[in-house]
């Protein structure tokens, strides 16, 4: 339906459904990297895993003074993950979880819900790996809900509600797999695949607006 959930705080018992006039998306064929991010991806000093710490990623996204992720919403995402409909990308520095992003999958659409970063470029690396996997799996829509300067620096754009609905309708009937057969991702392959045009580095900020919060 194109709506997404929010709450007014951790203890808010209500869920508010949002359908903005202008919608943020991250074109899967237009991911932009800065020179520093491309270098960081190739350096491979951080490791990226998938679906190994979904609950920890959601908890980290919610762990801030002001958050839209209520306890109720958090529990629902965990349920969606256990049913196979929600996934996370985890960025690790050794044993430490330093960044990540999670979202919900429907058809060929990935709805990015929130992200966090405890180390420089960690959330950007998570997004780069997400774009790489979604491309390989045949996805056509990466929904970010809102457009922030952080997402714009990575190639994010804003479309009208009508345009978004058209993108969504096509994506929902698109055959896609989050686990494409034979898929593998190395630091070099991700850096080479997603490094489109080069832009200046922008510090992590906002949420997919607050829905993709970074620190």
Mean pLDDT computed over 140-153: 94
User: Is the overall model pTM greater than 0.75, yes or no?
Assistant: yes
Of the given ranges (7-16, 53-62, 150-159, 199-208), which has the lowest mean pLDDT?
Answer: 199-208
Mean pLDDT computed over 59-84: 96
pLDDT digit string (tens) for 173-205?
999 999 999 998 887 788 777 655 433 333 333
Residue 142 pLDDT > 90, yes or no? Answer: yes
For the chain, what are the domain ranges? 31-194
Residue 208 pLDDT > 70, yes or no? Answer: no
SS3 annotation, the chain: CCCEEECCCCCCCCCEEECCCEEEECCCCCCCECHHHHHHHHHCCCEEEECCCHHHHHHHHHCCCCCCCCHHHHHHHHHHHHCCCEEEEEEEECCEEEEEEEEEEECCEEEEEEEEECCCCHHHHHHHHHHHHHHHCCCCEEEEECCCHHHHCCCCEEEEHHHHHHHHHHHHCCCCCCCCCCCCCCHHHHHHHHCCCECCCCCCCCCCCCCCCCC
pLDDT at residue 213 in the model: 38
CATH architecture of 31-194: 3-Layer(aba) Sandwich (3.40)
């Amino acid at each position: 339906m194109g709506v997404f959930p929010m709450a007014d705080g951790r203890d808010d018992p209500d869920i508010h459904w949002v359908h903005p006039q202008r919608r943020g998306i991250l074109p899967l064929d237009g991911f932009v990297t800065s020179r520093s991010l491309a270098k960081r991806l190739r350096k491979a000093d951080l490791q990226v895993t998938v679906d190994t710490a979904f609950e920890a990623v959601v908890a980290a996204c919610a762990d801030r003074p002001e958050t839209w992720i209520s306890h109720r919403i958090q529990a629902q995402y965990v349920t969606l993950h256990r049913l196979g409909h929600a996934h996370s990308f985890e960025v690790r520095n050794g044993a430490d979880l330093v960044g990540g992003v999670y979202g919900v999958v429907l058809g060929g659409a990935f709805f990015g819900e929130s992200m966090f970063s405890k180390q420089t470029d960690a959330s950007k690396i998570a997004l780069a790996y997400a774009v790489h996997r979604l491309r390989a799996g045949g996805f056509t829509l990466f929904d970010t809900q809102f457009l922030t300067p952080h997402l714009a620096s990575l190639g994010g754009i804003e479309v009208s509600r009508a345009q978004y609905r058209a993108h969504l309708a096509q994506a929902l009937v698109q055959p896609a797999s989050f686990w494409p057969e034979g898929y593998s991702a190395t630091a070099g392959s991700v850096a080479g695949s997603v490094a489109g045009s080069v832009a200046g580095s922008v510090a992590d900020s906002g949420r997919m607006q607050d829905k993709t919060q970074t620190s």
